[in-house]
Chains A and B, each alone.
Chain A
Amino acid sequence: MNKTFDLNRFGKYLSYDLLTSWRKAGLSVIITALLPLWFYLIYQIICLVFRGHLGQFSVFGIVAAYIVSFVIVTIAFPVRVYGFLTSKKAGSDWVLIPASAFEKFLSMLVVLCIAAPALWFGSIVACDAVMSLIPNYHGMGLTTLFNGLDSILSHLNTENVDFVFNSPVVSYLNWSANALCFALGAVIFRKNKVVYTFLSLMAIGFIFSIAIGIIGGNPSLTSETITDDSVIRTLNTSSIVMYFVEFLAFFGGLYYRIKTIKH
């Protein structure tokens, strides 16, 4: 039997991990994904109480609800599902489940970066569909939302720059980066996992921005020489570098922590 990876064993572990993740946080993800509906209902109740009639729900309300739901799920889900790893009781039990550290890590990636976003996205699509059936709802569908974001961001585009903003892909990358980051925080910090992860991120971001400034700063760029083209190209390059370094650090950090966790 392969010590690092065995498909049969991985299959067993993945099924177990998916099942336990669903039991721990599946319903919470669905409820959070229905946030636009809760926002809509609260808004209409307030309208009925103070105006005496139903109101026109703003597009910004929908966008805000999606963003809040996204942020809550990407932060809370990894902590809820994998935060127990630092606990002596449940964590030591998990460490001794007969599967390799690599299989446990891979399964964690599947849960965090495929299963959870799929569940969340499926739920917001369902929520969107349900809300479209509301007679007085003149909101904005999800496709319109993404197209709208693309068109707003494409205004940054100039004739000279080949600039494409793919919001679903960027959203997915954001999700994965957030989820992996908070999963890493969840398996490192014993208490106040979210707060300590935020503080660590701020500290790392601060150091990272100084480092990029020092390494990548171009002293020849002044307010006169700076153009849309140069700004966007710098932004693009630094974003690619940032994502690459982030993912590398999160993957490496998570795997190392899983492999060496002691109780």
Chain B
Amino acid sequence: MIRIGNINYSYGVKPCLEHISLNLEEGKIYGLLGENGVGKTTLLTLLCGLKQVQSGAIDVDGHDPFDREPAFLSSQFYLPDEVAAIEAKAGTFAHDRGVFWPEFSIDIFKEVMKIFEMDTEQKMNQMSAGQLKKTWISFALACRTKYLYLDEPTNGLDIPSKAQFRKAIMSFTREDSTIVISTHQVKDLENLIDPIIILDNRDVLLNASVEEITSKLFFDYGTVLNPESLYSEQVPGGFIQVYPNTTGVESKINVEALFNTVHKHKDLIKGIFSHE
């Protein structure tokens, strides 16, 4: 379990995260959404111990991430947006590096590489950005860690690879894993992420499961504009609208529309989803 308690982080005098509190539970794939510069990447780097919170605290199963204790480090994997091109063949890299993660499986690495149609004999410093990303994703999944932080994992992936990525995530992550995926490519991961976290510099605007969201908001894909809609967008053949779910009828979530609704009605949405 990850407990984030009232953390603050700033770059120089420019505040990035202010008074952010959040709990992340086991066995869930969190989608971390937010506008550019709200601190999604900063939050992930704080969670994995690359940065130190300036005030407040992060507790990951009793560990302070910045202590970087080996037991803690072996329970997590952080995949940044831009990954390093190692001077080695993909297979050799995975073999040499995997020994540090107790549950690492070279077979899973090969399997995921196969899903991505990648060659383990290819040198990583000769790969394209997308190929490199796929190799690192394969490695991250093969580590089978309890905590997996993925920053923009689908950036740079071609169209078939995005589906392959979803398949790999569904097939090779542990049931008790907490996965946090920060992304702007919401459509790539729409059916994967649950719960959804929408972050603002100074607040967590939303942290709710898809079930909770659809029980409280209705996503209408009709042709008639509803006067009560909190957000509406014209699309070919009609509208996407979001309004409070007063009937209890379930609808299919549209993450992009949800995101825009939350940003347009920050206080209202916070009120709707408030657990107090």
Contacts and interface: CB of A to CB of B under 8 A. Distances in A.
A51 interface: no
Nearest to B70: A98
Interface residues on A, range: 20 to 34
Contacts of A6: 70
B50 A95 contact: yes
Contact of B73 (A20, A87, A98): A98
B101 interface: yes
Nearest to B100: A98
Interface in A57-109: 84, 87-90, 92-93, 95-101, 103
A210 to B, nearest CB: 34
A131 to B, nearest CB: 32
Contact of A95 (B68, B76, B88): B68
Given A19-B96, A89-B83, A90-B84, A1 B71 contact: yes
Interface in B33-56: 45, 48-52
Contacts of A9: 70
Contacts of A12: 99-100
A184 B193 CA distance: 43
Interface string A97-140: 11111010000000000000000000000000000000000000
Contacts of B83: 89, 93
A190 interface: no
A16 B70 contact: no
A24 interface: yes
B252 interface: no
Contacts of A23: 87-88
- Majority SS at the chain A contact face: helix
Given A89-B83, A98-B100, A3 B70 contact: yes
Contacts of A88: 80, 82
Nearest to A23: B87
A203 to B, nearest CB: 26
B225 to A, nearest CB: 47
A96 B73 contact: yes
A118 to B, nearest CB: 22
Contacts of B78: 92, 96
A19 B87 CA distance: 12
A263 interface: yes
A68 B91 CA distance: 38
Interface in B154-173: none
Interface string A1-13: 1010010010011
A58 to B, nearest CB: 39
Contacts of B49: 95-96
Given A19-B96, A92-B78, A101 B68 contact: yes
A191 interface: no
B74 interface: yes
B97 interface: yes
Nearest to B145: A98
A3 B88 CA distance: 30
Contacts of B212: none
A96 B48 contact: yes
A87 B73 CA distance: 20
B52, B83, B88, B100 — most chain A CB neighbours (10 Å): B100
Contacts of B100: 12-13, 16, 97-99
A164 to B, nearest CB: 45
Contact of B51 (A84, A89, A98, A262): A262
B69 interface: yes
B70, B74, B86, B97 — most chain A CB neighbours (10 Å): B70
A89 B80 contact: yes
B101 A98 contact: yes
Contacts of A13: 100
A184 to B, nearest CB: 20
Interface of A: 1, 3, 6, 9, 12-13, 16, 19-20, 23-24, 84, 87-90, 92-93, 95-101, 103, 262-263
Interface of B: 45, 48-52, 68-71, 73-74, 76-78, 80, 82-84, 86-88, 96-97, 99-101
29 contacts: A1-B71, A3-B69, A9-B70, A16-B97, A19-B96, A23-B87, A24-B87, A88-B82, A89-B82, A90-B86, A93-B80, A93-B83, A95-B49, A95-B68, A96-B50, A96-B73, A96-B78, A97-B73, A98-B71, A98-B100, A98-B101, A99-B70, A99-B73, A100-B68, A101-B68, A103-B70, A262-B52, A263-B45, A263-B51
